[in-house]
Structure 1
Amino acid sequence: MLRNALDGLTVLDFTQIAAGPTATMLLADMGARVIKVEPREGELGRTLGPAWVGEDSALYHAFNRGKQCIGLDLKHPDSIEVIKRLVLQADVLIESMRPGVMTRLGLGYETLAALKPDLIYCSISAYGQEGPYSDRAGVDGILQADSGLMSLIGTPGSAPCKVQAPVVDVVTGYMACMAVLAKLHARQHDGLGGHLDVSLMNSALALQQSSITSYLSDGKLPTRIGSGAPYSAPNEAFQTEDGWLMVAAYNGNRWPTLCKVLNHEEWITDPRFVSSAQRVIHRAEMCAALTDVFMRKPTAHWLQVLHEADILCSKVADYSDLMKHPQLASNGMLVELNHPVHGAVRVPGFPINSVQAAQTPYAPAPQNGEHSRSVLRDFAFSEAQIAALEASQALHCSEPL
């Protein structure tokens, strides 16, 4: 099923932190053999904590399960020759260096495509491979700011906020994975590889499809409205007696039903609240009226009452609540990786379920250089060649002889 759909595919991974590692992790989740190439000191993502799993950050474990790792010094000419030999048997190469770096290393698309014309080469960068900003570095927070996303987040009058989870990085990883899968499908028909250009900037804009389209339609800058949706109401969080409750009761008969459940049927015909569009205009008055009612009872009470009335709602959960969510176990979304050094490591799993298939075990994130020797053996390097690479410091190994 999906977890072995890419069996036989080989991916070379020259990425770090989150965006690129998300893409290669998804390919590994679907059965590809992903060979992660790291410098002797390891990729930057290993150092970004707290939290920590042993000496590596939790961030590294979040985005690198199921991969093999080979340690190579890309400034060493012997390492470049190793990569060129690996490319001859690879299907996909994904890199997240600043544009131009791989070319300067001798590993640019034109060079490697000359060796293997059907290679699918995916470059992930902040702004894209061409254009006035192409040589600029960027990370998730910078692109949240530069793309306009931070201008949407926060409450009225508050400072701009970023989403703590690296959403631009992660969606960029999904975009890169989607692009690679599409190119793999095309290659089955034309036999050609190609160079894919995936950027954090474009992905950040895709996240804001509705907001940007609204601005292009009426020229009005969006304002920060907390948890509310600018196109519908009520579709936001309300304070209760003991917490917060998210309510979406803007479509169909749900608003009249909500009014009846709350014993305020007069709101149904109130000109300020008669339609979702009017409620958006009069959001402050609507929220004040609803909050006054919701704060009289605890969240659990409202969840029961609103669910019985088919009003869409949820407790605003924190992660301790999330770990008890009954649907997580059913969806298989919390998985346990058996790490050879750190033992059990829990992470979110592959997000797409195959109804017909049983859950396939996941391999943990690799230690730096854990598979250096075994990978080279698989690619027909002799023991003498491997020993010479180690002796020259081109190859870093952490696995036993």
Structure 2
Amino acid sequence: MPAALADLLVLDLSRVLAGPYATMVLADLGARVIKVEQPGLGDETRQWGPPFAENGLSAYFIAVNRNKQSIAVNLKHPDGQAIVRALARRADVLIENFLPGTLARMGLGYDDLRVLNPGLIYCSITGYGQSGPDALRPGYDTVIQAEGGLMSITGEPDGPPLKTGVAVADITTGLYAAASILAALHYRAQSGVGQYIDIALFDVQLSWLANVASAYLVSDQPPRRYGNGHATIVPYQPFAAADGYLMIAVGNDQQFARFCAALAHPEWVADERFATNPARVAHRAILVPLIAEVIAREPVAVWLERLRAAEVPCGPVNDIPTALHSPQAQARAMVQRIDGVRMVAPAPKLSETPATIRSAPPALGVDTEAILREMGYEPDQISALRAAGVVG
């Protein structure tokens, strides 16, 4: 089947997570992605382990670098810069995550490359953007979670602020970058003009505070931590069953009535303290212990059967192995093995142009020679570049 982005060439100068996640999304949809890495070292996540796969690649690197080619180029060398400029002439998209001004000092900034390729989409991912008092600070996911307010609303009410279990600021920044690149490509298709995209982890973190940020802007009341509970919906949290944890998400009063019936406590529906969601929120300290006492009497499987029969949203609290090997994950083919490496599959399912895994993440510089030959370099030139430490 055809790939939606098969006609696109993406030059990936990013490292670690946000940028590589964005380019992986584009690669899964068919774009050709050339990952530019430092000779001898490469993307630092290549060494972030254990665990490591049998081919020596770290699990971290594997997570976001499939469907890519790797060329090792020394960006500090003039000849290396010339290689990148030549690639940028042909590229549709360039994505990078250096500190602001770094690539410009190498003659590889947007203003430099747009002269060579007016249609280039140039996306810069940084911690704090290209402007503002923090622009020159490096961006790290957990620091962004802290400064962007996420940690202040994560954790138990009487406990310390906590980070999330996955680098969500990085991942969502990668998604924003991919969406912005596609928007810029759509505009270019109409206008013929490329553009510059400035994506900041801090901005992204603030943007997806969503209803929590909105609640503060409406009320001027600082949001607080509710542990696994919900600030404005009750009951909406996990409960301990006899043999594990069960997540219950009662989203409206009709569901609450069915929930009470399933728990054999229909009288709760008529109790004015619990009859509406605002009332339940106001009296959560009374209602939640009542629910917890009932849920603790039976195992998870019993409650899943009863609550699902009552059309009450619920689910078991799975660990990662259980989630990845669940019947639903298998039915959706969400774990795939390519070139001997197991990976989580692309999430979107497109009917005509499906996202696919075509190749495992590349070894460092494995495609250097082939790409240089494609660009017109002769074998003796490539050998000279290797000897000079320009490429690896």
* TM-score after normalising by structure 2: 0.97
Q: Which residue matches 1:346? A: 342
Quick check: 2:253–2:276 contact (8 Å CA) kept in 1?
no
When residues 345 and 171 of structure 1 are mapped into structure 2, their CA distance, relative to the original with a 3 A threshold, is same
Give the whole-Å Cα distance in 2 for the aligned partners of 1:56 and 1:219. 48
Q: Which amino acid aligns with 1:53?
A: A
Q: Which residue matches 2:70? A: 69
Give the whole-Å Cα distance in 1 for the aligned partners of 2:4 and 2:230. 38
Quick check: 2:4–2:29 contact (8 Å CA) kept in 1?
yes
Q: Which residue matches 2:24? A: 25
Q: Which residue matches 2:207? A: 206
Quick check: 1:332–1:359 contact (8 Å CA) kept in 2?
no
Q: Which residue matches 2:374? A: 378
Q: Which residue matches 1:399? A: none
- C-alpha displacement of 1:23: 0.4
Unaligned ranges ≥5, structure 2: none
Give the whole-Å Cα distance in 1 for the aligned partners of 2:78 and 2:32. 25
Quick check: 1:331–1:353 contact (8 Å CA) kept in 2?
no
When residues 335 and 176 of structure 1 are mapped into structure 2, their CA distance, relative to the original with a 3 A threshold, is same
Computed over aligned residues only, the root mean square deviation of the Cα atoms, in angstroms, reads: 1.4
Q: Which residue matches 2:47? A: 47
Q: Deviations over 1:315-339 (max 9, x none)?
A: 011112112311112222212121x
Give the secondary structure class of the aligned counterpart of 2:146.
helix
Q: Which amino acid aligns with 2:366?
A: E
When residues 359 and 39 of structure 1 are mapped into structure 2, their CA distance, relative to the original with a 3 A threshold, is closer
Quick check: 1:36–1:70 contact (8 Å CA) kept in 2?
yes
Q: Deviations over 1:76-133 (max 9, x none)?
A: 1110011111111111100011111111122111111111111110000001011111
When residues 170 and 360 of structure 1 are mapped into structure 2, their CA distance, relative to the original with a 3 A threshold, is closer
Give the whole-Å Cα distance in 1 for the aligned partners of 2:94 and 2:262. 57
Q: Which residue matches 1:363? A: 359
Q: Which residue matches 2:251? A: 250
Give the whole-Å Cα distance in 2 for the aligned partners of 1:6 and 1:137. 31
Q: Which residue matches 1:286? A: 287
- C-alpha displacement of 1:252: 4.2
Q: Which residue matches 1:261? A: 262
Q: Deviations over 1:352-396 (max 9, x none)?
A: 002356774431011110100011112222222212211211000
* TM-score after normalising by structure 1: 0.94
How do residues 173-322 of structure 1 correspond to structure 2 at under 5 angstroms?
173-322=174-323
Q: Which amino acid aligns with 1:27?
A: L
Q: Which amino acid aligns with 1:10?
A: L
Quick check: 1:69–1:372 contact (8 Å CA) kept in 2?
yes
- C-alpha displacement of 1:187: 0.3
Give the whole-Å Cα distance in 2 for the aligned partners of 1:10 and 1:361. 17
Q: Which residue matches 2:3? A: 4
Aligned length: 390
Give the whole-Å Cα distance in 2 for the aligned partners of 1:17 and 1:200. 13
Give the whole-Å Cα distance in 1 for the aligned partners of 2:22 and 2:354. 23
- 1:38 matched to 2:37? The reply is yes
Q: Deviations over 1:276-312 (max 9, x none)?
A: 1111121121110000000000001100111111111
Quick check: 2:29–2:356 contact (8 Å CA) kept in 1?
no
Give the whole-Å Cα distance in 2 for the aligned partners of 1:195 and 1:189. 16
Q: Which amino acid aligns with 1:365?
A: P
Q: Which amino acid aligns with 2:44?
A: L
Quick check: 2:348–2:355 contact (8 Å CA) kept in 1?
no
Quick check: 2:234–2:284 contact (8 Å CA) kept in 1?
yes
Give the whole-Å Cα distance in 1 for the aligned partners of 2:157 and 2:355. 45
- C-alpha displacement of 1:244: 0.6
346-355 or 313-322, which deviates more: 346-355
Q: Which amino acid aligns with 1:210?
A: N
Q: Which amino acid aligns with 1:284?
A: A
How do residues 112-123 of structure 1 correspond to structure 2 at under 5 angstroms?
112-123=113-124
Give the whole-Å Cα distance in 2 for the aligned partners of 1:231 and 1:77. 57
Give the whole-Å Cα distance in 2 for the aligned partners of 1:211 and 1:97. 31
Quick check: 1:228–1:235 contact (8 Å CA) kept in 2?
yes
Give the whole-Å Cα distance in 2 for the aligned partners of 1:324 and 1:333. 9
Give the secondary structure class of the aligned counterpart of 2:364.
coil
When residues 75 and 361 of structure 1 are mapped into structure 2, their CA distance, relative to the original with a 3 A threshold, is closer
Give the whole-Å Cα distance in 2 for the aligned partners of 1:213 and 1:21. 31
Give the whole-Å Cα distance in 1 for the aligned partners of 2:353 and 2:92. 26
When residues 250 and 84 of structure 1 are mapped into structure 2, their CA distance, relative to the original with a 3 A threshold, is closer
Give the secondary structure class of the aligned counterpart of 1:381.
coil
Give the secondary structure class of the aligned counterpart of 1:35.
strand
Give the whole-Å Cα distance in 2 for the aligned partners of 1:331 and 1:354. 13
